[in-house]
Amino acid sequence: MTEILIISHSEDIASGTKALIEQMAEGVTVHASGGVNGGIGTNIGQIDHMLSEVKSDTICFFDIGSSLMNLEMAVEMYEGDHNIHIANAPVVEGSFLAAVEISIGTDIDNIMDKLSEMVK
């Protein structure tokens, strides 16, 4: 089953979005990281650690600025066996849509298509 990875500058946004998804789409695996040392920011090491824990293909969501840069670098360095997709969709709405679609068995290509329609 496809997994979700959330990267935010805010620990509250990351953990809150993860909680929302877990309540609304039971059984979908969500990894979330937000903030650095209790403050605002993202960290490539945290992202790299989450990627090392994925057990299937994964769709990644990010919020602003350096979260995308750090995510892209972590994905570039990823040496695992799974496909890692970066979604260009709003972090909360996009990850929620993806989780619901995952929970009903939609394949990853169709999910990515639906996510790309969100930003048109």
State the pLDDT at residue 120.
72
Tell me, rounded to whole angstroms, the distance of Cα 102 from its chain centroid: 13
Looking at CATH, the fold of the domain delimited by 3-118 is given as: Rossmann fold (3.40.50)
pLDDT > 90? residue 84? yes
Instruction: Please state the domain extents for the chain.
Output: 3-118
pTM: 0.94
Out of 9, 31, 49, 85, the active site residue is: 9
Residue 105 CA to residue 108 CA, distance in Å, equals: 9
Tell me what the mean pLDDT of segment 108-118 comes to: 96
State the pLDDT at residue 37.
87
pLDDT > 80? residue 87? yes
Tell me what the mean pLDDT of segment 34-46 comes to: 91
Beta strands in the chain (DSSP E): 3-8, 30-34, 58-62, 84-86
Told to judge if 49 belongs to the known catalytic residues of this protein, a careful annotator would answer: no
